[in-house]
Structure 1
């Protein structure tokens, strides 16, 4: 009887982002990705969202390492936070490790890890884990599918992938190796990308975007061109640079992450822009506007990104106007549509001409669509299947695709964050779940909690009322106050009468409490909160935060 293998999902199942899973063999844990998620609009003041690392902290002595499937932030962005708690080596392509290294170095945590590069097709033992790194095509170079050869058979994780037959760098998804594994060993369990499971057909080739960009550069000759894309999308940057150089333009990067990633990709030989064709943003004033192509961060409308600063007229380097063309070579991530729309509106107000994916085919997805997923299933023919990487509706649709391709429905498990499954000789069984809630990051502070977010929402929607009073508890008298101060409930200069009534209501409540007994400060705070809250709700039908401040004489 072979030893069981456990798979635990800490993020990425039910949302786009926070991708993180654990594979357990012989009592050791291998982490598969450790990503972050960007906050929703209702997560006020939150900068990033991480997986809940409780399970990993509780089992820190069993963590063998982390495998990064590719260099996107939703797969590597959480490493600099987890390394604060536990130490482990990280395996991945040179590019993925280079992108992860930037954040880890900024956090001062390089001493807590070892970055170990792996190659296409490499198979290595990492503790008890027999891992094979299989090339896949994605929107960042050198992505991997990973095959774990375990006592329970081969677990194949697709990573983020697409079946691009004409990729920019010629590096194809290695379906042949996946098919060989399926034929020789069999795929006991398939975990596969579900992001585009609802999209019919095949994804466009990344190289098709190059022709569109060339036509746009031709159509806008003589104008300054600003492009925006993900800083990690090296192939897109290459195609933008190729189009720019074809029309004699100098490439200029703006945005810290773009600058770092372009330098890293050029050093690794993944990005081919000659020295004479690229300049720093500091030199942009010396260049003829019609002979410049600026490649910027901010394609998702991030509030403080380089493109957002241009749209609001606050960029220290560029002032946009009617002679500028802005090309957004991306598509909004779900949830970012409003931010992107706001940036586009700002650019248009400045007079710039804006080209985006709704106008021209300036973007190609990096994720497989339905027909590509069917191809993967037809080649791998898994015994069991768990859809990963997507919102719940994407996971459900991928489960339907798997069933249509012949996987029995009772061998398809739709899991969510926190689910843990055990692979045994008898099949797969669900086991006790683990903590997998959102870990919110505000600045450098982790886990600000649901309570803080709830308070922020109340403050944003209803305002705050602060009631200050000084009392002599022993003698049962109010010495000063109460004074009612408000922000966001009513405008004080225009509501003196209302505030006066509120003050009188609170004063009566305090005096009644003092007359009955000698209450403590906490009791008086409750009396004030109850009296003020009741008055505010009755008079205005609103529920601002009530903050009582009682000073004891």
Structure 2
């Protein structure tokens, strides 16, 4: 009888981001991905969101490695937050490791890990886990699916993927390799990308975007063009550069990560831009507008990104206007729509012509749609299926696809962050749940901001704050001075003097009643807060934060 295989989902199930799963076998653990999530609009002041790594910290001595399926931040971006506490080697393709390297280096963590390059089709033994890697097409080069084999058979994790039959680099998804292991030894459990499970049909090939880019270069001859896309989308960068060079434009990069990734891609041979076609961003004013193209970061409307700085006229490199065209060669990540729309609006106010995916087909998804997911289901014939990577609705859609393709409903499990599965000789069952809370990063502060702080920030941002300041003599049971109401974001103090005065009277009555009843400073403050809160809500139908400040004489 083989030991059971436990799979713990620390992130990525029920959200877009924080992808991280742990495979535990014979008291050793293999991590698969270690990603972050970008904050929703209501996560005020939060820079990024991490998985709750407390479960990993408690088992630090059992971690034998981390397999990285591809180089996107939602799969590798949290490494620099985990490696200070847990040391382990990394396994990934050359480009994946290259994209993960800078953050690890910047944080001085190179001594906490080692980089093990894997190639398509190779098998690596990582502790008790035999891991075979299969090429998969995605929106970043060298993505892989991973077959993890233990005494409990083979678990196949698709990674993020689409089935692109005409990829930019010619590297096709290794469907034949996956089909071979599905036949022998067979796949006991399939974990597969669910992002586009609710979208009908097939995803569009990345090369189709290239055709649109060529058309746009022709249409906007003589005008300066700025394109924005993910810095990791090297295939998109390649197609932008190809189209630009075809129309005799010089290529300049803007944004630290874009410049770094272009250099890395050229060095690795996965990005082909001739030396004489590249210029430094400082040189663009030497050329006529129709002779240059700028490839920029900021396609998601990030606050300090190169494109946002252009939109707010704060860029040190570019001042855009009526003669410029901005092409957003991307689609907003869920939650980023508002930020992207703000950037588009600000650019438009400057007279810039903005082209985005709602106008032209300047973006192609990197995730498989329903027909491609059906193909993977029919190819793998897995005994059990668990949809991963996506919001809960996406995973439910994917579960229905699996059932439609012949997987029995009782062999499909829809899980969430914190769920644990146990694969043993009898099949797949649910285990105990673990903590999978959001860990918020605000500046250099990690994990000290909880949901209560975010609620306070939301109240402050939407309703304002009212501070009640008073001095009391607890021995004599009387008010020495105040109460005085000071407000920010609730009402205009100058224009609402009568309202504030009436609120102060209500507070004074409540404080005197509390003092007469023998209340201490804490009880006096609570009485004032309750009275003012009731008054404020009654008079304005608003609920600002009420903060009592009680000074003792």
Same fold by TM-score greater than 0.5: yes
1:205 maps to 205
CA apart distance, 1:287: 2.5
Shift of 1:521: 2.0
Secondary structure of the residue aligned to 1:192 is strand
> Gaps spanning 5+ residues in structure 1: where?
none
Mean Cα deviation higher: 58-67 or 239-248: 58-67
How far, CA to CA, are the matches of 2:480 and 2:91 in structure 1? 67
Counterpart CA distance in 1 for 2:276 and 2:482 is 72
- CA deviations on 1:488-510 (whole Å, 9 max, x unpaired) are 11110001111111112212222
Does 1:135 find its partner at 2:117?
no
Secondary structure of the 1:279 match is: coil
* Alpha-carbon distance, 1:284 to partner: 2.0
Shift of 1:514: 2.2
**Alpha-carbon distance in structure 2 between the residues aligned to 1:249 and 1:552:** 72
Report the equivalent of 1:9.
9
Alpha-carbon distance between aligned partners in 1 of 2:411 and 2:39, rounded to the nearest angstrom: 34
Could you tell me how far apart the structure 1 residues matched to 2:347 and 2:80 are? 34
Measured after TM superposition, the shift of residue 480 of structure 1 is 2.1
TM-score normalised to the size of structure 1?
A: 0.98
Deviations 1:126-168 (A, max 9, x none): 1111111111111000001000111111000001111111111
Question: Cα deviations across residues 40-72 of structure 1 (Å, max 9, x unaligned)?
Answer: 111111111111112111211211111110000
Alignment of 1:310-349 (within 5 A): 310-349=310-349
Once the two structures are superposed, what CA deviation does each residue of 1:353-410 show, in whole Å capped at 9, x if it has no partner? 1111111111111111111111111111101110111111111111111111111111
Q: Which residue of 1 aligns with 2:505?
A: 504
Deviation at 1:516, TM superposition (A): 2.8
Q: Which residue of 2 aligns with 1:298?
A: 298
CA offset digits 1:249-291 (Å, max 9, x no partner): 1101111111111111111111111222112222222222210
Aligned to 2:430: 430
Equivalence map 1:451-466=2 (5 Å): 451-466=452-467
Matches within 5 A, 1:251-290: 251-290=251-290
Q: 1:56-205 residue pairs with structure 2 within 5 A?
A: 56-205=56-205
CA-CA distance at 1:460 after TM superposition? 1.1
Mapped to 2, the partners of 1:45 and 1:52 lie a distance apart of 19
Q: Which residue of 1 aligns with 2:420?
A: 420
Please report how far the alpha carbon of residue 245 of structure 1 lies from its aligned counterpart in structure 2 after TM superposition.
0.8
Q: Deviations over 1:412-469 (max 9, x none)?
A: 1111111101001110010111111211111121221001001011111111011111
Measure the CA separation in 1 of the matches of 2:383 and 2:440: 37
Match of 2:450 in 1: 449
Residue 542 (structure 1) shift? 1.6
SS in 2 for 1:13: coil
Aligned-partner SS, 1:490: coil
Distance 2:425 2:136 in 1: 30
Gaps of 5+ in 2: none
3-state SS of paired residue (1:21): strand
How much does 1:84 deviate? 2.6
For structure 1, which segment, 191-200 or 303-312, has the greater mean C-alpha deviation from structure 2 after superposition? 303-312
- 1:109 Cα deviation after fit: 2.2
TM-score after normalising by structure 2: 0.98
Does the residue aligned with 1:203 lie in a helix, a strand or coil? coil
Counterpart for residue 471 of structure 2? 470
Query: C-alpha separation between the residues in 1 aligned to 2:326 and 2:349?
Result: 13
Residue 368 of structure 1 corresponds to 368
Q: Secondary structure at 2:310's aligned position in 1?
A: helix
Task: Classify the secondary structure of the residue corresponding to 2:527.
Answer: helix
SS in 1 for 2:365: coil
Please give the root-mean-square deviation of Cα atoms over the aligned residues, in Å. 1.2
1:478-517 mapped onto 2 (5 Å cutoff): 478-517=479-518
* Aligned counterparts of 1:338 and 1:538: Cα–Cα separation in 2: 33
Written as runs of structure 1 = structure 2, the 5 A alignment for 1:230-241 is 230-241=230-241
Aligned to 1:39: 39
- How far apart, in 1, do the equivalents of 2:533 and 2:342 lie? 37
Instruction: For 1:364 and 1:123, locate their aligned partners in 2 and report how far apart those are by CA, in whole Å.
Output: 31
Instruction: Name which of structure 1's ranges 17-26 and 298-307 shifts more when overlaid on structure 2.
Output: 298-307
* Residues 211-230 of structure 1 deviation map (CA, whole Å, 9 limit, x = unaligned): 11111101111110100111
Q: Structure 1: how far apart are the matches of 2:503 and 2:184?
A: 79
> 1:166 aligns to what SS in structure 2?
coil
SS for the counterpart of 2:200 is coil
Q: Structure 1 stretch 478-487 or stretch 390-399: which is displaced more?
A: 478-487
CA deviation profile, 1:181-213 (whole Å, cap 9, x unmatched): 011100010001111111111111111111111
- How far apart are 1:111 and its partner, in Å? 2.2
SS at match of 1:468: strand
